A and B are shown apart, each in its own frame.
Chain A
Amino acid sequence: MAEKLEAKHSGKTLLAARKIEYPDSADPVEVCFERGWTDGLPVTPPTDERVIAMLKGTTRRPDEVIGRIPPFLAPCTVEKVAVNAVMAGCKPEYMPVLLAALEAALEPVFTLHGVLATTYFSSPIVIVNGPIARRIGMNSGINALGQGNRANATIGRALNLIVLNVGGGRPGEADRSTLGAPSKYTLCFAEDESDPQWEPLSVARGFARGVSTVTLFQGHGPEAFVDQKSRTPEGLTRSFALSLNRMGHANLVQSARAIVVLSPEHYAIYKEAGWDRKRIERALYEATIRPGKEILAGKDGVGEGVPPERANEMVPKFHDDGLMVVRAGGPAGLFSAILPGWLAGRNKLELQPVTKEVKA
Protein backbone atom coordinates (compact mmCIF):
# COMPACT_ATOMS: atom_id res chain seq x y z
CA MET A 1 0.00 0.00 0.00
CA ALA A 2 2.80 2.46 0.89
CA GLU A 3 4.38 1.88 -2.51
CA LYS A 4 1.00 2.40 -4.18
CA LEU A 5 0.60 5.77 -2.48
CA GLU A 6 4.22 6.67 -3.23
CA ALA A 7 3.78 5.79 -6.89
CA LYS A 8 0.55 7.79 -7.05
CA HIS A 9 1.62 10.91 -5.20
CA SER A 10 5.31 11.44 -5.80
CA GLY A 11 4.78 12.98 -9.21
CA LYS A 12 7.31 11.50 -11.58
CA THR A 13 8.32 9.02 -8.84
CA LEU A 14 11.90 7.99 -8.33
CA LEU A 15 11.97 5.94 -11.46
CA ALA A 16 13.86 6.75 -14.62
CA ALA A 17 13.06 3.72 -16.78
CA ARG A 18 10.77 4.73 -19.61
CA LYS A 19 7.08 4.02 -19.35
CA ILE A 20 5.53 1.48 -21.68
CA GLU A 21 1.86 2.23 -22.00
CA TYR A 22 -0.90 -0.27 -22.67
CA PRO A 23 -4.66 0.09 -22.74
CA ASP A 24 -7.04 -1.15 -20.06
CA SER A 25 -8.19 -3.79 -22.47
CA ALA A 26 -4.73 -5.40 -22.69
CA ASP A 27 -3.46 -8.10 -20.34
CA PRO A 28 -0.13 -6.77 -19.01
CA VAL A 29 1.36 -10.28 -18.84
CA GLU A 30 0.63 -10.67 -22.55
CA VAL A 31 2.13 -7.23 -23.22
CA CYS A 32 5.41 -8.51 -21.73
CA PHE A 33 5.28 -11.61 -23.96
CA GLU A 34 4.58 -9.53 -27.05
CA ARG A 35 7.55 -7.29 -26.35
CA GLY A 36 9.89 -10.26 -25.99
CA TRP A 37 10.67 -9.52 -22.34
CA THR A 38 10.35 -13.06 -21.06
CA ASP A 39 12.24 -16.34 -20.93
CA GLY A 40 9.14 -18.10 -22.21
CA LEU A 41 7.37 -18.18 -18.85
CA PRO A 42 5.01 -15.43 -17.68
CA VAL A 43 6.61 -12.51 -15.86
CA THR A 44 5.21 -10.18 -13.22
CA PRO A 45 4.50 -6.84 -14.93
CA PRO A 46 6.91 -4.20 -13.56
CA THR A 47 4.48 -1.56 -12.33
CA ASP A 48 5.74 1.53 -10.50
CA GLU A 49 4.63 0.29 -7.09
CA ARG A 50 6.32 -3.08 -7.55
CA VAL A 51 9.57 -1.50 -8.76
CA ILE A 52 9.55 1.03 -5.91
CA ALA A 53 8.99 -1.80 -3.42
CA MET A 54 11.84 -3.80 -4.99
CA LEU A 55 14.23 -0.86 -4.70
CA LYS A 56 13.59 -0.81 -0.95
CA GLY A 57 15.44 -4.13 -0.76
CA THR A 58 18.77 -2.36 -1.29
CA THR A 59 20.49 0.72 0.07
CA ARG A 60 22.09 1.36 -3.32
CA ARG A 61 20.88 4.29 -5.40
CA PRO A 62 18.53 3.45 -8.28
CA ASP A 63 20.74 5.30 -10.76
CA GLU A 64 23.96 3.52 -9.79
CA VAL A 65 25.36 1.67 -12.78
CA ILE A 66 26.34 -1.90 -11.86
CA GLY A 67 28.08 -2.58 -15.15
CA ARG A 68 27.61 -3.23 -18.84
CA ILE A 69 25.63 -6.32 -19.76
CA PRO A 70 26.69 -8.44 -22.71
CA PRO A 71 26.18 -9.06 -25.52
CA PHE A 72 25.37 -5.43 -26.38
CA LEU A 73 27.24 -4.01 -23.37
CA ALA A 74 24.31 -1.90 -22.27
CA PRO A 75 24.76 -0.10 -18.95
CA CYS A 76 22.58 -1.58 -16.21
CA THR A 77 21.42 0.51 -13.26
CA VAL A 78 20.14 -0.73 -9.92
CA GLU A 79 16.69 0.35 -11.13
CA LYS A 80 16.91 -1.93 -14.19
CA VAL A 81 17.97 -4.76 -11.91
CA ALA A 82 14.88 -4.05 -9.80
CA VAL A 83 12.58 -3.98 -12.85
CA ASN A 84 13.85 -7.38 -13.95
CA ALA A 85 13.74 -8.71 -10.37
CA VAL A 86 10.03 -7.80 -10.26
CA MET A 87 9.48 -9.61 -13.53
CA ALA A 88 11.29 -12.74 -12.26
CA GLY A 89 9.12 -12.81 -9.12
CA CYS A 90 11.77 -11.79 -6.56
CA LYS A 91 10.99 -10.31 -3.15
CA PRO A 92 12.78 -7.05 -2.24
CA GLU A 93 14.99 -8.82 0.31
CA TYR A 94 16.56 -10.85 -2.52
CA MET A 95 18.03 -7.70 -4.11
CA PRO A 96 21.42 -7.80 -2.31
CA VAL A 97 21.97 -11.39 -3.49
CA LEU A 98 20.92 -10.56 -7.03
CA LEU A 99 23.15 -7.48 -7.17
CA ALA A 100 26.14 -9.49 -5.91
CA ALA A 101 25.39 -12.23 -8.44
CA LEU A 102 25.28 -9.69 -11.25
CA GLU A 103 28.56 -8.13 -10.14
CA ALA A 104 30.14 -11.59 -10.08
CA ALA A 105 28.80 -12.34 -13.55
CA LEU A 106 30.33 -9.13 -14.89
CA GLU A 107 33.86 -9.92 -13.68
CA PRO A 108 35.89 -10.39 -16.89
CA VAL A 109 37.13 -13.80 -15.78
CA PHE A 110 33.53 -15.06 -15.63
CA THR A 111 33.33 -14.44 -19.43
CA LEU A 112 29.56 -13.84 -19.39
CA HIS A 113 29.49 -12.98 -23.09
CA GLY A 114 31.05 -16.35 -23.92
CA VAL A 115 28.75 -18.21 -21.53
CA LEU A 116 25.78 -16.65 -23.28
CA ALA A 117 27.01 -17.01 -26.85
CA THR A 118 28.44 -20.52 -26.68
CA THR A 119 26.89 -23.44 -28.54
CA TYR A 120 27.37 -25.38 -25.27
CA PHE A 121 24.74 -25.88 -22.52
CA SER A 122 26.11 -23.46 -19.95
CA SER A 123 24.64 -20.52 -18.08
CA PRO A 124 25.44 -18.93 -14.72
CA ILE A 125 24.85 -21.26 -11.76
CA VAL A 126 24.38 -19.32 -8.51
CA ILE A 127 25.40 -20.75 -5.11
CA VAL A 128 24.62 -18.76 -1.98
CA ASN A 129 26.50 -19.09 1.31
CA GLY A 130 26.21 -17.49 4.73
CA PRO A 131 23.42 -16.05 6.87
CA ILE A 132 21.64 -14.31 3.97
CA ALA A 133 20.61 -17.72 2.59
CA ARG A 134 18.72 -18.53 5.78
CA ARG A 135 17.34 -15.00 6.16
CA ILE A 136 15.67 -15.06 2.77
CA GLY A 137 14.57 -18.67 3.13
CA MET A 138 16.69 -20.31 0.46
CA ASN A 139 16.59 -24.06 0.07
CA SER A 140 19.69 -26.18 0.58
CA GLY A 141 17.80 -29.32 1.54
CA ILE A 142 15.23 -31.56 -0.12
CA ASN A 143 14.91 -30.71 -3.83
CA ALA A 144 17.52 -27.93 -3.51
CA LEU A 145 18.25 -28.09 -7.25
CA GLY A 146 14.57 -28.33 -8.16
CA GLN A 147 11.42 -26.28 -8.08
CA GLY A 148 9.35 -24.94 -5.22
CA ASN A 149 11.46 -22.35 -3.40
CA ARG A 150 10.82 -18.75 -4.37
CA ALA A 151 14.32 -17.39 -3.68
CA ASN A 152 16.10 -20.27 -5.43
CA ALA A 153 13.77 -19.98 -8.42
CA THR A 154 13.64 -16.24 -8.89
CA ILE A 155 17.18 -15.01 -8.12
CA GLY A 156 18.66 -17.20 -10.83
CA ARG A 157 15.84 -16.33 -13.18
CA ALA A 158 16.28 -12.59 -12.60
CA LEU A 159 19.97 -12.81 -13.50
CA ASN A 160 19.12 -14.49 -16.79
CA LEU A 161 16.32 -11.98 -17.48
CA ILE A 162 18.81 -9.13 -17.06
CA VAL A 163 21.05 -10.68 -19.71
CA LEU A 164 18.00 -11.14 -21.96
CA ASN A 165 16.40 -7.74 -21.46
CA VAL A 166 19.20 -5.33 -20.65
CA GLY A 167 22.00 -7.12 -22.52
CA GLY A 168 19.84 -8.21 -25.44
CA GLY A 169 21.01 -11.82 -25.22
CA ARG A 170 18.31 -13.72 -27.04
CA PRO A 171 18.22 -17.41 -27.92
CA GLY A 172 18.80 -17.81 -31.65
CA GLU A 173 20.53 -14.42 -31.82
CA ALA A 174 23.58 -13.89 -29.60
CA ASP A 175 22.66 -17.00 -27.58
CA ARG A 176 23.75 -19.79 -29.96
CA SER A 177 23.30 -22.80 -27.66
CA THR A 178 22.78 -25.90 -29.81
CA LEU A 179 20.31 -27.47 -27.38
CA GLY A 180 20.19 -25.22 -24.32
CA ALA A 181 19.35 -26.64 -20.91
CA PRO A 182 16.55 -26.21 -18.36
CA SER A 183 19.20 -24.66 -16.09
CA LYS A 184 19.24 -21.67 -18.45
CA TYR A 185 15.96 -20.60 -16.81
CA THR A 186 17.52 -20.73 -13.34
CA LEU A 187 19.90 -22.86 -11.30
CA CYS A 188 20.40 -21.23 -7.93
CA PHE A 189 20.66 -22.83 -4.51
CA ALA A 190 22.21 -22.46 -1.07
CA GLU A 191 24.91 -24.62 0.45
CA ASP A 192 23.97 -26.73 3.48
CA GLU A 193 26.12 -25.27 6.25
CA SER A 194 24.43 -27.13 9.11
CA ASP A 195 27.59 -29.12 9.98
CA PRO A 196 30.03 -26.80 11.76
CA GLN A 197 32.89 -29.14 10.81
CA TRP A 198 32.26 -28.56 7.11
CA GLU A 199 34.17 -25.74 5.45
CA PRO A 200 31.59 -23.79 3.42
CA LEU A 201 32.36 -23.01 -0.23
CA SER A 202 32.63 -19.31 0.64
CA VAL A 203 35.37 -20.01 3.22
CA ALA A 204 37.23 -22.25 0.78
CA ARG A 205 37.12 -19.32 -1.64
CA GLY A 206 38.67 -16.89 0.81
CA PHE A 207 35.83 -15.34 2.80
CA ALA A 208 35.41 -15.45 6.59
CA ARG A 209 32.79 -17.65 8.20
CA GLY A 210 29.57 -15.74 8.67
CA VAL A 211 30.10 -13.59 5.57
CA SER A 212 27.33 -14.00 3.00
CA THR A 213 28.50 -14.65 -0.54
CA VAL A 214 27.35 -15.70 -3.97
CA THR A 215 29.51 -17.93 -6.14
CA LEU A 216 28.87 -18.03 -9.86
CA PHE A 217 29.87 -21.02 -11.95
CA GLN A 218 29.58 -21.50 -15.72
CA GLY A 219 27.70 -24.76 -16.05
CA HIS A 220 24.50 -26.71 -16.44
CA GLY A 221 22.76 -29.61 -14.84
CA PRO A 222 22.17 -31.45 -12.74
CA GLU A 223 23.43 -34.84 -13.86
CA ALA A 224 22.56 -37.66 -11.50
CA PHE A 225 25.18 -39.61 -9.55
CA VAL A 226 23.90 -42.79 -7.92
CA ASP A 227 25.94 -45.06 -5.67
CA GLN A 228 24.00 -46.94 -3.02
CA LYS A 229 26.66 -49.55 -2.36
CA SER A 230 30.05 -47.91 -1.70
CA ARG A 231 30.74 -47.49 2.01
CA THR A 232 34.34 -46.27 2.13
CA PRO A 233 35.58 -42.82 1.14
CA GLU A 234 38.13 -44.37 -1.23
CA GLY A 235 35.50 -46.48 -2.97
CA LEU A 236 33.01 -43.64 -3.16
CA THR A 237 35.68 -41.36 -4.62
CA ARG A 238 36.55 -43.89 -7.35
CA SER A 239 32.84 -44.27 -7.97
CA PHE A 240 32.41 -40.50 -8.38
CA ALA A 241 35.39 -40.52 -10.74
CA LEU A 242 33.66 -42.99 -13.07
CA SER A 243 30.78 -40.55 -13.50
CA LEU A 244 32.91 -37.39 -13.53
CA ASN A 245 35.09 -38.80 -16.28
CA ARG A 246 32.05 -39.20 -18.53
CA MET A 247 31.27 -35.49 -18.34
CA GLY A 248 30.82 -34.10 -21.84
CA HIS A 249 32.51 -37.18 -23.25
CA ALA A 250 34.54 -39.87 -21.50
CA ASN A 251 37.57 -39.08 -23.67
CA LEU A 252 37.49 -35.27 -23.35
CA VAL A 253 40.04 -33.93 -20.87
CA GLN A 254 41.49 -30.81 -19.30
CA SER A 255 38.96 -28.38 -20.64
CA ALA A 256 36.51 -27.89 -17.79
CA ARG A 257 35.58 -27.68 -14.18
CA ALA A 258 32.68 -29.32 -12.37
CA ILE A 259 30.73 -28.97 -9.16
CA VAL A 260 29.93 -32.05 -7.13
CA VAL A 261 26.77 -31.45 -5.11
CA LEU A 262 27.35 -33.82 -2.21
CA SER A 263 24.20 -35.15 -0.55
CA PRO A 264 24.03 -35.74 3.22
CA GLU A 265 24.19 -39.54 2.96
CA HIS A 266 27.24 -39.50 0.68
CA TYR A 267 28.82 -36.80 2.83
CA ALA A 268 28.34 -38.99 5.92
CA ILE A 269 30.68 -41.60 4.42
CA TYR A 270 33.43 -39.00 4.07
CA LYS A 271 32.72 -37.39 7.42
CA GLU A 272 32.88 -40.66 9.36
CA ALA A 273 36.33 -41.27 7.89
CA GLY A 274 37.45 -37.75 8.81
CA TRP A 275 37.73 -36.42 5.25
CA ASP A 276 37.29 -32.67 4.87
CA ARG A 277 36.57 -30.55 1.78
CA LYS A 278 40.20 -30.25 0.70
CA ARG A 279 40.81 -33.96 0.98
CA ILE A 280 37.63 -34.85 -0.93
CA GLU A 281 38.36 -32.37 -3.72
CA ARG A 282 41.99 -33.51 -4.02
CA ALA A 283 41.01 -37.19 -4.01
CA LEU A 284 38.38 -36.61 -6.70
CA TYR A 285 40.94 -34.77 -8.84
CA GLU A 286 43.46 -37.59 -8.47
CA ALA A 287 40.85 -40.29 -9.11
CA THR A 288 39.96 -38.69 -12.43
CA ILE A 289 43.52 -38.97 -13.81
CA ARG A 290 43.72 -41.77 -16.36
CA PRO A 291 46.34 -43.38 -18.58
CA GLY A 292 46.30 -41.67 -21.96
CA LYS A 293 46.23 -45.03 -23.72
CA GLU A 294 42.70 -45.65 -22.36
CA ILE A 295 41.28 -42.52 -23.96
CA LEU A 296 43.08 -42.32 -27.28
CA ALA A 297 41.41 -40.66 -30.23
CA GLY A 298 40.44 -43.18 -32.85
CA LYS A 299 40.19 -46.14 -30.46
CA ASP A 300 37.32 -48.37 -31.61
CA GLY A 301 36.51 -45.80 -34.25
CA VAL A 302 35.68 -43.12 -31.67
CA GLY A 303 37.03 -39.82 -32.91
CA GLU A 304 37.11 -38.00 -29.58
CA GLY A 305 40.17 -38.55 -27.45
CA VAL A 306 43.76 -37.58 -26.75
CA PRO A 307 46.38 -37.71 -29.53
CA PRO A 308 48.65 -40.77 -29.81
CA GLU A 309 51.67 -38.94 -28.40
CA ARG A 310 49.91 -38.79 -25.02
CA ALA A 311 49.42 -42.57 -24.84
CA ASN A 312 52.03 -42.98 -22.10
CA GLU A 313 50.98 -39.91 -20.08
CA MET A 314 48.71 -39.89 -17.05
CA VAL A 315 46.04 -37.41 -18.17
CA PRO A 316 43.84 -35.46 -15.72
CA LYS A 317 40.19 -34.93 -16.61
CA PHE A 318 40.04 -31.54 -14.87
CA HIS A 319 42.18 -28.53 -14.16
CA ASP A 320 43.96 -29.01 -10.82
CA ASP A 321 41.58 -26.50 -9.20
CA GLY A 322 38.67 -27.72 -11.30
CA LEU A 323 36.48 -29.52 -8.79
CA MET A 324 34.32 -27.76 -6.23
CA VAL A 325 32.25 -29.67 -3.71
CA VAL A 326 29.03 -28.07 -2.45
CA ARG A 327 26.86 -29.74 0.19
CA ALA A 328 23.11 -29.81 -0.41
CA GLY A 329 20.19 -32.17 -0.53
CA GLY A 330 17.64 -34.00 1.55
CA PRO A 331 18.53 -36.44 4.32
CA ALA A 332 17.57 -39.62 2.48
CA GLY A 333 19.11 -40.87 -0.74
CA LEU A 334 22.58 -42.07 -1.67
CA PHE A 335 22.38 -39.76 -4.67
CA SER A 336 24.53 -36.76 -5.42
CA ALA A 337 24.71 -34.51 -8.45
CA ILE A 338 27.29 -33.28 -10.91
CA LEU A 339 27.03 -29.82 -12.39
CA PRO A 340 29.29 -29.93 -15.45
CA GLY A 341 31.20 -26.79 -16.35
CA TRP A 342 31.50 -25.12 -19.72
CA LEU A 343 33.97 -27.06 -21.88
CA ALA A 344 35.83 -23.98 -22.98
CA GLY A 345 38.70 -23.38 -20.62
CA ARG A 346 41.68 -25.04 -22.24
CA ASN A 347 43.75 -22.96 -19.88
CA LYS A 348 42.53 -22.84 -16.29
CA LEU A 349 43.05 -19.09 -15.99
CA GLU A 350 40.89 -18.39 -19.05
CA LEU A 351 37.56 -18.64 -17.25
CA GLN A 352 36.95 -19.16 -13.57
CA PRO A 353 34.14 -19.22 -11.03
CA VAL A 354 33.69 -15.92 -9.19
CA THR A 355 32.65 -15.31 -5.57
CA LYS A 356 31.39 -11.96 -4.26
CA GLU A 357 30.31 -10.80 -0.85
CA VAL A 358 26.61 -9.98 -0.49
CA LYS A 359 26.25 -6.44 0.85
CA ALA A 360 23.11 -4.48 1.67
Chain B
Amino acid sequence: MMNWMRDPTAETSAVKRPRRAPPKSLEGLTIGLFDIGKTRTPEFLDQVEKRFNERGLKTKRVGKPTNAKVATPENLQKIASEVDVVLIGLSD
Protein backbone atom coordinates (compact mmCIF):
# COMPACT_ATOMS: atom_id res chain seq x y z
CA MET B 1 0.00 0.00 0.00
CA MET B 2 1.17 3.53 -0.73
CA ASN B 3 1.08 6.36 1.78
CA TRP B 4 1.73 9.99 1.02
CA MET B 5 2.85 13.25 2.50
CA ARG B 6 2.75 16.76 1.10
CA ASP B 7 5.60 18.29 -0.86
CA PRO B 8 7.26 21.12 1.12
CA THR B 9 9.10 22.50 -1.91
CA ALA B 10 8.18 24.95 -4.63
CA GLU B 11 7.48 21.96 -6.90
CA THR B 12 9.70 23.39 -9.57
CA SER B 13 11.38 20.29 -10.87
CA ALA B 14 14.91 21.20 -11.78
CA VAL B 15 15.26 21.46 -15.52
CA LYS B 16 18.84 22.06 -16.41
CA ARG B 17 19.32 24.71 -19.01
CA PRO B 18 22.06 23.95 -21.56
CA ARG B 19 24.96 26.35 -21.11
CA ARG B 20 25.84 28.70 -23.93
CA ALA B 21 28.95 27.58 -25.75
CA PRO B 22 31.90 29.75 -24.77
CA PRO B 23 33.31 31.96 -27.56
CA LYS B 24 36.20 30.43 -29.50
CA SER B 25 38.15 33.66 -29.11
CA LEU B 26 37.82 36.93 -27.21
CA GLU B 27 39.12 38.91 -30.22
CA GLY B 28 36.75 41.76 -31.05
CA LEU B 29 34.46 41.08 -28.09
CA THR B 30 33.81 43.41 -25.17
CA ILE B 31 34.61 41.79 -21.85
CA GLY B 32 32.47 43.02 -18.98
CA LEU B 33 34.35 43.11 -15.68
CA PHE B 34 31.61 42.78 -13.09
CA ASP B 35 32.17 44.31 -9.64
CA ILE B 36 29.82 42.62 -7.14
CA GLY B 37 30.34 45.39 -4.60
CA LYS B 38 32.86 43.84 -2.23
CA THR B 39 35.32 46.27 -0.68
CA ARG B 40 38.45 45.22 -2.59
CA THR B 41 36.93 43.95 -5.80
CA PRO B 42 38.15 47.01 -7.78
CA GLU B 43 41.78 46.23 -6.94
CA PHE B 44 41.37 42.73 -8.30
CA LEU B 45 39.55 43.88 -11.41
CA ASP B 46 42.20 46.58 -12.05
CA GLN B 47 44.81 43.85 -12.39
CA VAL B 48 42.62 41.69 -14.60
CA GLU B 49 41.74 44.64 -16.81
CA LYS B 50 45.40 45.54 -17.23
CA ARG B 51 46.17 42.00 -18.41
CA PHE B 52 43.29 41.98 -20.89
CA ASN B 53 44.19 45.43 -22.24
CA GLU B 54 47.85 44.43 -22.66
CA ARG B 55 46.59 41.74 -25.03
CA GLY B 56 44.59 44.31 -26.96
CA LEU B 57 41.22 43.13 -25.67
CA LYS B 58 38.40 45.56 -25.03
CA THR B 59 36.96 45.76 -21.50
CA LYS B 60 34.13 47.57 -19.79
CA ARG B 61 33.60 47.93 -16.04
CA VAL B 62 30.12 46.95 -14.91
CA GLY B 63 28.63 45.86 -11.60
CA LYS B 64 26.16 46.34 -8.80
CA PRO B 65 26.43 48.74 -5.87
CA THR B 66 26.54 46.24 -2.98
CA ASN B 67 27.19 42.57 -2.37
CA ALA B 68 24.34 42.64 0.15
CA LYS B 69 21.76 42.73 -2.61
CA VAL B 70 21.27 40.81 -5.81
CA ALA B 71 21.60 42.57 -9.14
CA THR B 72 18.28 43.82 -10.43
CA PRO B 73 16.94 42.43 -13.72
CA GLU B 74 17.28 45.94 -15.22
CA ASN B 75 20.93 46.07 -14.26
CA LEU B 76 21.62 42.64 -15.75
CA GLN B 77 19.72 43.48 -18.93
CA LYS B 78 21.73 46.69 -19.35
CA ILE B 79 25.00 44.83 -18.92
CA ALA B 80 23.89 42.11 -21.34
CA SER B 81 23.24 44.79 -23.93
CA GLU B 82 26.67 46.40 -23.47
CA VAL B 83 29.12 43.51 -23.34
CA ASP B 84 29.62 40.12 -24.99
CA VAL B 85 31.06 38.12 -22.11
CA VAL B 86 31.29 38.81 -18.39
CA LEU B 87 33.97 38.08 -15.85
CA ILE B 88 32.69 38.32 -12.29
CA GLY B 89 35.02 39.47 -9.52
CA LEU B 90 33.40 37.10 -7.04
CA SER B 91 33.96 37.12 -3.32
CA ASP B 92 37.05 38.08 -1.36
Tell whether, in the assembled complex, residue A83 and residue B68 are in contact, meaning their CB atoms are under 8 Å apart.
no
> For residue B2, which residue of chain A has the nearest CB?
A21
Contact with A along B64-82 (1 / 0, CB 8 A): 0011111000000000000
From B3-11, B17-25, B26-34, B47-55, the one touching the partner chain is B3-11
Contact with A along B30-41 (1 / 0, CB 8 A): 000000000100
A positions within 8 Å CB-CB of B: 15, 17-24, 28, 31-32, 37, 45-48, 51, 69-70, 72, 74-76, 80, 83-84, 87, 108, 111, 113-114, 118-119, 161, 165-168, 176, 342, 344-347, 350-351
Tell me which of B9, B11, B68, B92 contacts A345 (CB under 8 A).
B68
Tell me which of B1, B6, B10, B66 contacts A48 (CB under 8 A).
B6
Q: Which of B2, B3, B12, B91 has the most C-beta atoms of chain A within 10 angstroms of its own C-beta?
A: B3
* Also in contact, A166 and B9, with CB within 8 A (given A19-B4, A21-B3, A21-B4): yes
For A31, the chain B residues whose CB sits under 8 A away are 5
> For residue A75, which residue of chain B has the nearest CB?
B10
Tell me which of B3, B5, B12 contacts A24 (CB under 8 A).
B3
Tell whether, in the assembled complex, residue B5 and residue A22 are in contact, meaning their CB atoms are under 8 Å apart.
yes
Cβ distance A176 to chain B, nearest Cβ, rounded Å: 8
Tell whether, in the assembled complex, residue A350 and residue B66 are in contact, meaning their CB atoms are under 8 Å apart.
yes
Tell whether, in the assembled complex, residue A113 and residue B69 are in contact, meaning their CB atoms are under 8 Å apart.
yes
For B92, the chain A residues whose CB sits under 8 A away are 119
* Also in contact, A37 and B68, with CB within 8 A (given A22-B2, A23-B1, A24-B1): no
Tell whether, in the assembled complex, residue B12 and residue A72 are in contact, meaning their CB atoms are under 8 Å apart.
yes
Tell whether, in the assembled complex, residue B10 and residue A87 are in contact, meaning their CB atoms are under 8 Å apart.
no
For A18, the chain B residues whose CB sits under 8 A away are 6-7, 11
For B4, the chain A residues whose CB sits under 8 A away are 19-22, 47-48
B positions within 8 Å CB-CB of A: 1-12, 39, 66-70, 91-92
Q: How far, in whole Å, are A75 and B10 apart by their CA atoms in the complex?
A: 7
Tell whether, in the assembled complex, residue B70 and residue A113 are in contact, meaning their CB atoms are under 8 Å apart.
yes
Tell whether, in the assembled complex, residue A15 and residue B6 are in contact, meaning their CB atoms are under 8 Å apart.
yes
For B11, the chain A residues whose CB sits under 8 A away are 17-18
Q: Which of B2, B6, B9, B39 has the most C-beta atoms of chain A within 10 angstroms of its own C-beta?
A: B6
For A24, the chain B residues whose CB sits under 8 A away are 1-3
> For residue A117, which residue of chain B has the nearest CB?
B70
* Also in contact, A28 and B68, with CB within 8 A (given A74-B10, A74-B12): no
Tell me which of A20, A69, A74, A342 contacts B6 (CB under 8 A).
A20
Q: How far, in whole Å, are A259 and B66 apart by their CA atoms in the complex?
A: 23
**Knowing that A19-B4, A74-B9 are A-B contacts, what are 11 other residue pairs whose CB atoms are under 8 Å apart, sorted by A's residue number?**
A19-B7, A20-B5, A28-B3, A70-B70, A83-B6, A83-B7, A83-B8, A114-B69, A118-B67, A119-B92, A350-B68
For A84, the chain B residues whose CB sits under 8 A away are 8
Cβ distance A317 to chain B, nearest Cβ, rounded Å: 17
Cβ distance A280 to chain B, nearest Cβ, rounded Å: 28
Q: How far, in whole Å, are A111 and B4 apart by their CA atoms in the complex?
A: 35
> For residue A38, which residue of chain B has the nearest CB?
B8
Q: How far, in whole Å, are A70 and B68 apart by their CA atoms in the complex?
A: 13
Tell me which of A28, A37, A344, A345 contacts B8 (CB under 8 A).
A37
* Also in contact, A346 and B66, with CB within 8 A (given A23-B1, A119-B91): yes
Q: How far, in whole Å, are A154 and B47 apart by their CA atoms in the complex?
A: 48
* Also in contact, A19 and B6, with CB within 8 A (given A111-B69, A119-B92, A344-B67): yes
> For residue A76, which residue of chain B has the nearest CB?
B10
A-B pairs with beta carbons under 8 Å apart, 29 shown:
A15-B6, A17-B8, A18-B7, A19-B6, A20-B4, A20-B6, A21-B3, A21-B4, A22-B4, A23-B3, A45-B5, A46-B8, A47-B5, A48-B6, A72-B10, A80-B8, A83-B6, A113-B70, A114-B68, A118-B67, A119-B92, A165-B8, A165-B9, A166-B10, A344-B67, A344-B68, A345-B68, A346-B66, A350-B69
